[in-house]
Chain A
Amino acid sequence: MDILVLVKQVPDTEAIIRAQSDTELDIENKYSLNFFDEFAVEEALRIKEKLGSGKVAVITLGSKKAVDALRRGIAMGADEAFQIEDPALEEIDGYATAKTLAKFIESQGYDVILCGKQAIDDDSGAVGPALAQFLGIPYLTSIVELKIAADKKEARAAREIEGGTEIITCPLPALFTAQKGLNEPRIPQVAGVMKAMKAQIQKFDLKALGLSPEDIRPKTKILKFYPPGKRPPVKMIEEEFPKNVEVLVKILREQEKAI
């Protein structure tokens, strides 16, 4: 069983991020493997361990920092790492990312592709479904459970929907996007980290993939960035209990008309 996992290095949830100008962000230098991609890597390793055979490869599209996502994947236990890097890929959208990844993945053997539910930088959740479309394979998003059939030809997954879950089967090869709840990602051991530092990363650029900058022209453009509207300052209701409760109810009903 060959499993490919898409990993992305993104600003940590704690990083300070500000719009510096209309088109530029000021991002504090704190990066980590995308929160949801950790579940994807973990699930790949568990499938391999359960079957007792197979290979897990981690793939990223990105420049320098992206290598850390690959190393984290190796440290957790992945066998191989691939990096797609090209100056022409610096400013692309989900469409172009998926198209480029698809072009690379077409040349690889695989049974299962795992990725995160969304990258917590662009918060799109677009790359997984778009990649499955380019590859012509079925996909299930936001999964919280995954079982591979003994004949390795089918998968059964639970995906989160509003107010419950759906149990769905699909033939392999297929792509799955990981939601929190799928598993508990392992913390890399020292030996893994040592291995990751030495791991060889196989690199590909656009030319190697047979793509031209024209092929990956993005379909959307960010006109401008700006800070979220500040919420007005809080009004503390200072009256003693139970008067404060009465005041709050009155405000919510009469002033805010929220109830």
Chain B
Amino acid sequence: MAGIWIFVEQRDGAIRKVSMELLSGGKELASTLGEDMAAVLLGYQVGPMAEKLAKCADRVYVIDDPLFQYYSADSYGESLANMVHTYDPSVLLGGSTFMGRDLFPWLASRLATGYAADCTDITIGDDKGIIAKRPMYGGKVLADVVFPQARPQMATVRSNVFPLKSLEEAARGEIIHIEPKEDSSTIRTKVERAEKKATGKVDLTEADIVVAAGRGIKGPENFHIIEELAEVLNATVGTTRAVVDNQWRDHNDQIGKSGKIISPKLYMAFGISGAIHHTMGIDTSKVIVAVDKKPNALIFDYADYGIVGDLFQIVPALTAEFKKALSE
């Protein structure tokens, strides 16, 4: 029994960034343990992605089958359970995405093993087991979780936890094709269609830069100044629940307890008061900038840099200044 497995998530022909980050982190964990790292890729017409992964991992397990075009625990989960039984990895990591958080707890219970959700670090303990660090109670407490006996040790990990490294040429991995046992009658959940928002932007949970506005923006008609700043920085736009409740933005854009947990390299908050339910969602951001007209706004307790001022003055000026700086 050995080896670290990374569940590689793909949608629409592209590998998720968090999966590439996990391959980078997994490589280091594997070398600390003196074990191999394998990538597991399930989907349909994923050949080119498998080739790419073979340059990063020691082995790539692939299922390439029309039944695997859409994710379902009945297909992905059952197959993974079989693969784990056959090859016996000691660790299985995946991204803390909607798919990862749907699949992993199901799979862990199927394998009668342990699972740690939404982790912000994975390290190796003295006993060579993994230590999964995870926020609980909305980030008020952190916990180190260990897996006393059960294997594989399963965890989902947030974006931007492991730095993305160039792994190509690190390995020339073997590609192992697996025939699925499922047929269309065993897959009970059927995806009728996916409705994508046409923004073409990286999702909030994966974005390197997030710019957000709260109720201070006053109305949906003013969001264009935030969009323009986002455009210049190639950032994703986020918001607060107060804004979503007013129907100024879609719930998809909400950051916080009842929205999305983000961990970008830079988070900029404009006209956001900094209620605990909101800041729970931004705790693991690297640099936080806040602009609010109230000097005592709670958000300044969380920010690294703050400006007291009117967002309607500051945001356009920032957009212009970044534009200037980036064109130099």
Contact = CB atoms under 8 A, between A and B. Distances in A.
B98 A142 contact: yes
B109 interface: yes
Contact of A251 (B303, B305, B308, B326): B305
B77 to A, nearest CB: 8
Contacts of B228: none
A124 B141 contact: no
B117 A123 contact: yes
A200 interface: no
B148 interface: yes
Interface stretch (B46-54, B84-92, B169-177, B189-197): B189-197
A223 interface: yes
Contacts of B135: 123, 228
B55 interface: no
B102 interface: yes
Contacts of B106: 129-130, 132-133, 139
Chain A, interface residues (CB within 8 Å), range: 35 or more
A259 interface: yes
Contacts of A18: 140-141
A141 interface: yes
A258 B209 contact: yes
Contacts of B97: 162
Contact of A168 (B109, B145, B189, B283): B189
Given A129-B73, A169-B192, A231 B304 contact: yes
Given A221-B146, A245-B317, 9 more contacts: A95-B115, A140-B189, A162-B205, A169-B189, A223-B143, A231-B302, A231-B304, A249-B322, A258-B265
Interface of B: 11, 70, 73-74, 77, 97-99, 101-106, 108-110, 112-118, 131, 134-150, 188-197, 199, 201, 203, 205-206, 209, 233, 251-252, 257-259, 265-266, 276-277, 283, 286-290, 300-309, 313-314, 317-318, 321-322, 325-326
